[in-house]
Each structure stands twice: as structure tokens, then as C-alpha cells.
Structure 1
Amino acid sequence: MQIYLPIAEVSVNAFLLLGLGGLVGILSGMFGVGGGFLMTPLLFFIGIPPAVAVATEANQIVASSFSGVLAHLRRKTVDLRMGTVLLIGGLIGAALGVIVFNYLKSLGQVDLLVKLCYVVFLGIIGAMMFVESLNAIRNTRKGTPPKRKKHGWVHGLPFKMRFRTSGLYISVIPPVLVGISVGILAAIMGVGGGFIMVPAMIYILGMPTKVVVGTSLFQIIFVTGFTTMLHATTNYTVDIALAVLLLVGGVIGAQIGTRIGVKMKAEQLRILLAIMVLAVCGKLALDLLIMPSELYSIAAEGGH
């Protein structure tokens, strides 16, 4: 069943969009990521213009993340205090990101920037997570307990705060900086930023894995909601028809994903996520390197 998307100006199969939304929703519930880092490139692959994909995907992430957070709140695996600190940074970052996005859109360079950002970030994050997950699995098999840093550079910073749910007493500066970087990514790349947020919360802030997923999703809801609003009011690139179809699939998928995630070990989840990240990175890099079938495209003046 073909459906015409008015803002994206393309016709797409409605069931394909529902399926993509469901798939990314499952990943959202399993890994604590908004899923945008996979969904946005998938939208590129089916012909959605990058500017529309970025702005609309931020909208879909809100729904799938909200669905996932409800499941985690029931299990009491959300650190609301840490989530609020990350959120403050995230809102600042999102505002900065939209300013950069609008400037590049006026130059007509936004499509290339978005794709390059994806290749670089997905490549780095995917490789790091893959290596770390392999080491964790190896240590588990040997029976070596995972090394937990009790004191690092994070603990020497001022403005300390106690986060009871995470069992931490650390400076608020690192969480705010993590939030800002994730907010910028949310605006420029149409991602919740979970694929950066989750490793940062585990390795930089030292949070326990079981609390990380729910807390990450809590922060993602508000940052991506704010980003969507800014894109809708400044760029007019949010396609409601596309968002609704992705949203329905995403909400259902997130509930399924949360149930699957509980049954799997943390190391297994991380290595699966790393493989997916690297696969998407490889496909995007190939698309940038291979000569397109059509060398020229017609676009309105100003990159719209």
C-alpha cells in the first residue's frame, strides 16, 4: 500500500515504514538507544531526503523512548536525578545543533554533512563497543571479574552531587557535557544519541548497566521532543504522515524489545549493538564512495 509523504515529496509503502518503526522500537527497548542512528540511515536508503529524515526521526524517537521508559520505571531502573542533569546539557546542545543545521541548510550542504557525521560516529563507536564487548565476554568465560574503576579523573572534579539510584557521588560537569554533545547530535543527525550516551554513562560516569538503559531513554524523550519542535518551527521539515507510521511501529516494538533485553546478558547485548552499528556505517560509507546512478539532481534554491 503506497502512501504519499507531502513534506518528503515521495511515495513509500506504508507497511515498510511500520516494519522499520517496529524493528527500531525493538532495538530501543533492548539497548536503551533511541534507534535513530539506525532508522535515519534506513530512511535515506528508501529515498527520504536527509533533512526530512533527520527532523521526522527525532519525532519517532520520542514515542519509542517513552514506551521503553514506562517499562523501565515499573522496574525502578531509571535514575531520575542523573537523567535531569543529562537533560539540562541535552537541551543546550539541541539548541546549538539546530542553529548549525539551519546554517548548513542555507548553504545547501546539510545532506553531505549528515551522512559524513554518520559514517564517522558510527565507525568509531561501533569499533570501540565491539572490542570492549569481546573483552568482556572473554573475561566472563575465564571467570575474571570485570574491573570497575573506583576513582578516575571524573571523581576529582568540583560541584559533586549524589545519585542514589546509580550509587554514585560525582561532579555534575561530565553528565552535563555528555548531555550537550548528545543534544547537538540529536539536532544534526536526527538521533536520540543513545549510541553515544550509553557507553559514556557506563565508562565515563561509571553507572551500573541495569540503570543506564532506562536513564538514557528518559533523557532522550525530552531532548528529541525539543529538537523536533525546533525543526518543525524553523525548518518545516517534519513529515507528520511519515512520523505517525514510524511511531506506531516504534511503540509496539519498544515493549517487545524491553522484554527481550531483560533475558539477555549485558555483554551479548553490547556486541549485537556494535555489529549493527558497524553494518550501517559500512553501507553509508559505500553509498558515499560509489558513483550514484543519477549524477545530477534538481533542488529548489537554498537547498530546500
Structure 2
Amino acid sequence: MNTARQVYEFLKAASIAHAKWDYEVSMSIIKSRKRLMVLGLLTLPIVLISIALAAGGHEMLGGKQAFAPAFYSIEIFLVSILIGCIAGLITGCIGAGGGFIITPALMAAGIKGILAVGTDLFHIFAKAIMGTTVHKKLGNVSVPLALAFLVGSGGGVMLGGWINMALFMADPLLSEFFISSIYAVLLGFLGFYALFDFIKSSRGSTGGDAHGGPVDSTGLSIKLQSINIPPMITFDQDLVPGGRRLSGWIIAIGGFVVGMLAAIMGVGGGFITFPMFVYVFGVSSMTTVGTDILQIIFTAGYAAISQYAIYGYVFYTLAMGMLIGSLLGIQLGALTTKVVKGIHIRGFYAITILAGFINRAATLPKKMVELEVLDIPRTIVDYIDTVGNIIFWVVVLLFGVWVLSKFFGNIKKLRAEG
């Protein structure tokens, strides 16, 4: 039980770290007129093409109807903005979890799993490039540490992308089942633990902030740093006399895991890099932040382009729509935290994560029947799938309405705080 708790705290810390990165990147775009102008120039042609192709009823450019919706439409673009906005509200208000919702939300909207993964990766890559190209924190990167990690990350991306593509080519249903299963396990684990935390907190059993702190895993980092397998990478020389040393092989293995998860799930890898560096490798937070920014750009970009885009698994209309929606949502969500209680934020964190779990888990019986693994009447599995979809959208939309009501209901107070 203690191990499960540590895993939960590790993943929660990962979710919070990724949300912090997402917020900082989003705000750097919002505060820059040049970057907003670039975003507008990138989006305008896609919108015009969407309207033109939808009006003409043409198939998707490149004949990729096997991998994507058969045509662009303004409705699909608007849905992508809604998904991005909801994810942004979750990230900005809750400070965690938003990145985990995008791929399940795209799949719930009818997008094939492999396309949802590729599109989410491209969306993350586009945001990272726009928001961090002149980021001062990149000066904190340990180049040897980053290179060892990125070598492993590149290998992980290739394997993860190959797994998703091989499953899709073998049977699209198998690909859908695989991606949904991973998200069901991850979101279920996070969601139920978060719910137990919320119940304890509401009864006054625990204190702290809205999220709680991560588990101290320095014992593991000390053990790993004691393993002497060349090449040894030295880092944090400015903080520790002589610096800390860790085998490049261990760092590369960590990068491999991050890259594989990023390519399979479409989350960019940043959600797990921070706690891995700090609590497993023993890297200082200052060095971790700069290296994390660099690896997100590389991992998400390499995965999005080399494993998905060139095969037609990126839906650019959705990516741009999600980027626009997330920039709006994350700003509103962050402002709303000033007028809501931490305990309420904890509750919504658990509920939204569980909504994603219910949605993905509800699709599994239907996929198993279609794969001829289970023998259950089709009407029953269709009903379960529909109910799971309804629960997901009702929860996320209610959350969005709640955040917006808090924001507009306290807009005078927020203005006063400046």
C-alpha cells in the first residue's frame, strides 16, 4: 500500500509540474503580441480551408480518411477549441491534470486514438516552440545531462510510435483498445487516490495546500548516484562542491521511459520528467526546469513529426483549435483560483480525472466485443459506451460552467486585486 501511495504522489507531482510548465508557456504567449500574431497567422489559413472544404464536402487533404475524419469542418474546429479551453481551465484552476484530459476528450469526440495522440503531441510541440524559444530558464540546462536524457528519449519515442502504428496497422480497433486501456489504468489510479485524499481533507484529516507535496525519494537517488557505470555525468556543480554524478546509462534509461510514454499517450513527456529528475535522479530543481523545457521541445517535436505527422496522424485543425482554447482557459482558470477554496479545487481534481477514467473504461467492453474477445449483446456495450461518454462531457462542461460562474461572479474583486 505504501508503494502504491508513493506511485500516486509521484504521478501527482508529475501532473502538477506539467501544469506549471503549461501555465508558464501559455502566459508567455498571451503576454506577447508578436506570438499572438504568429498564432493568428497560423490559424487563419486552417480556418479558411476548414470552411471551404466543409462547404464543398471534399475529403481530407492527402486522402487520409482512414486515419482521420473524412473532411475538415468548422464544427470540428469549434469542438477542438472547447476541448482546449476545458483542459486549460483544469490546468489553470486545479494546477494539475489538464494534460491528461486532452487525448481522452478527443477520443470521446470521435477522433481515432492514434490521431488524438499525434495531434496532442503536435499541439504541445507548437505551444513549446512559441512559448519557450527565448526562455531564460534554458540557461540552467546541464548539457551533458540533457544529451544523455535526449538520446534515451529519442529511442523511447521511436519504440512508442512504432507500437501505436503497428497496432493500428494490425487492427484499428486494437489500437483504440490499447490507448484507452492505458488511460483507463492511469486516470483510474490517479482519480481514486485523489478522491480518497479529498474525502480525508473534507473531514479535516489532512492539511496542506490543494495538492499536497510529493514523496521524498532522495534515498533512491543516493543509491542510483552510487552506481559507477561509465560514462558518468556530472551536474549541479554550482550547488554541490564537485557536483553530483550519475551514470549516463541510467539517465538514458529514464529518457527512454519518458519518450516511450510520450509517444504512446501523447502527453509530451514533461508530465513525468520533473519528478524523475528531482526524486529519482537527485537533480536540483533549478537544473531540472531548464532541462525539462528542452526535452519537451525535443520529445514532443520528434514524436509529433517523425512518428505521426509524416504518416498522416496529426489533425492540424484540432491542434490549432486546442492551442487557442487552452490559452483562453488557462488564463481564466488561474484567475479563478484567487476566489475559490483549496478544498474545492481538490474535489474537482478528483472528479475530472475520474470522469476521464469512466469515459475510457466505458469504451473497453465495446472494443472487446468488436475484437471478438467478449460475447456480450451489442446493445449493452453500446449503452455502456454512451453512458460513459455522457458522464464525461457532463462533468467537464459542469466544471467549465462552475469556473466561469466563479470568474464572472467575482470579476469586480479580481479587477480590484489588479
TM-score (norm: length of structure 2): 0.54
Which residue matches 1:90? Answer: 153
Q: Distance in 2 between matches of 1:207 and 1:272?
A: 32
Which residue matches 2:272? Answer: 196
Shift of 1:157: 2.1
Matched, 1:115 2:180: yes
Shift of 1:119: 1.4
> Contact conserved, 1:63 with 1:250, CA < 8 A, in 2?
no
Which residue matches 1:181? Answer: 257
Change (3 A) 1:124 1:131: same
Shift of 1:15: 3.0
Which residue matches 1:157? Answer: 227
- What stretches of structure 2 of length at least 5 have no aligned partner? 1-46, 61-67, 338-342, 366-379, 386-418
Q: Distance in 2 between matches of 1:170 and 1:128?
A: 35
Shift of 1:194: 3.1
> Contact conserved, 1:34 with 1:61, CA < 8 A, in 2?
no
Shift of 1:114: 0.9
Name whichever of 228-237 and 204-213 sits farther off: 204-213
Which residue matches 1:99? Answer: 162
Change (3 A) 1:140 1:112: closer
Which residue matches 2:120? Answer: 57
> Contact conserved, 1:101 with 1:110, CA < 8 A, in 2?
yes
Q: Which amino acid aligns with 2:235?
A: R
Q: Which amino acid aligns with 2:382?
A: P
Which residue matches 2:382? Answer: 292
Please give the residue correspondences for 1:34-49 in structure 2 after superposition, counting only pairs within 5 Å.
Answer: 36-49=99-112
Please give the residue correspondences for 1:122-141 in structure 2 after superposition, counting only pairs within 5 Å.
Answer: 122-125=187-190, 138=206, 140=208
Name whichever of 233-242 and 104-113 sits farther off: 233-242
Greater helix percent: which structure? 2
> Contact conserved, 1:35 with 1:61, CA < 8 A, in 2?
no
Please give the residue correspondences for 1:212-291 in structure 2 after superposition, counting only pairs within 5 Å.
Answer: 212=288, 215-232=291-308, 235-251=311-327, 276-289=352-365, 291=381
> Contact conserved, 1:33 with 1:216, CA < 8 A, in 2?
no
Shift of 1:284: 1.4
Q: Which amino acid aligns with 2:292?
A: S
Report Cα offsets for 1:187-217 as digits up to 9, x if no partner: 2222213333343334322445676566434
> Contact conserved, 1:66 with 1:218, CA < 8 A, in 2?
no
> Contact conserved, 2:81 with 2:325, CA < 8 A, in 1?
yes
Shift of 1:91: 1.3
Q: What SS is found at the alignment partner of 1:122?
A: helix
Higher Cα radius of gyration: 2
Q: Distance in 2 between matches of 1:254 and 1:212?
A: 23
Q: What SS is found at the alignment partner of 1:119?
A: helix
Q: Distance in 2 between matches of 1:285 and 1:36?
A: 18
Q: Distance in 2 between matches of 1:243 and 1:90?
A: 23
Shift of 1:41: 0.5
Q: Which amino acid aligns with 2:279?
A: Y
RMSD, matched Cα: 4.5
Shift of 1:27: 5.6
Q: What SS is found at the alignment partner of 1:204?
A: helix
Which residue matches 2:371? Answer: none
Q: Which amino acid aligns with 2:83?
A: L
Report Cα offsets for 1:117-151 as digits up to 9, x if no partner: 1112333455677889989x94759xxx9985554
Identity %: 27
> Contact conserved, 1:68 with 1:217, CA < 8 A, in 2?
no
Shift of 1:276: 4.2
> Contact conserved, 1:32 with 1:216, CA < 8 A, in 2?
no
> Contact conserved, 1:126 with 1:277, CA < 8 A, in 2?
yes
Change (3 A) 1:112 1:154: same
Q: Which amino acid aligns with 2:111?
A: I
Name whichever of 168-177 and 92-101 sits farther off: 168-177
Shift of 1:60: 0.4
Change (3 A) 1:34 1:235: farther
Q: Distance in 1 between matches of 2:264 and 2:361?
A: 18
Q: Distance in 2 between matches of 1:179 and 1:129?
A: 27
> Contact conserved, 1:34 with 1:220, CA < 8 A, in 2?
no
Q: Distance in 2 between matches of 1:177 and 1:33?
A: 26
Q: How many residues align?
A: 288
Change (3 A) 1:223 1:77: closer
Shift of 1:19: 3.0
Q: Which amino acid aligns with 2:128?
A: S
Q: Distance in 2 between matches of 1:258 and 1:63?
A: 21
Which structure has more relative contact order (CA 8 Å, sep 6+)? It is 1
Shift of 1:165: 7.5
Which residue matches 2:141? Answer: 80
